[in-house]
Amino acid sequence: MSTLIVALRPQDGMVLAGDSRGTVDDPRGLTAIRDTETKLFKLSDYAGMGIAGSSELAASVFDVLKPHIERENLMYIDEIMQKAREVVKQSYDD
């Protein structure tokens, strides 16, 4: 199982790209392949997130995080990641 995510920063913006293949492995052989996984998330006009691993887990974290980003008008990756740490820690502590 592998994931490809690329981030490019040209002079006038940012480009994120990634594959959309999801696989579920079984010791007896490959059991499932899906080509519709979401692995890139827009966090703000200035920040994005790419994930590897469980896209379902990442999507659930993003669904919880996104309202905080919008309500607190967070724009930059350092403040968004700090908020992500707080939100995820609180969710798992609960």
Q: Where are the domains of the chain?
A: 5-93
Check residue 38 and give its pLDDT: 85
Residue 30 — very low, low, confident or very high, per pLDDT cuts 50/70/90?
Answer: low
Q: What is the mean pLDDT of residues 27-33?
A: 71
Q: What proportion of the chain, given as a percentage, has pLDDT over 70?
A: 95
Q: What is the mean pLDDT of residues 5-13?
A: 84
The sign one gets for the Cα dihedral 79, 52, 93, 62 is: positive
* CA–CA distances in Å: residue 60 to residues 6, 64, 88: 22, 6, 10
pTM score: 0.69
Check residue 71 and give its pLDDT: 95
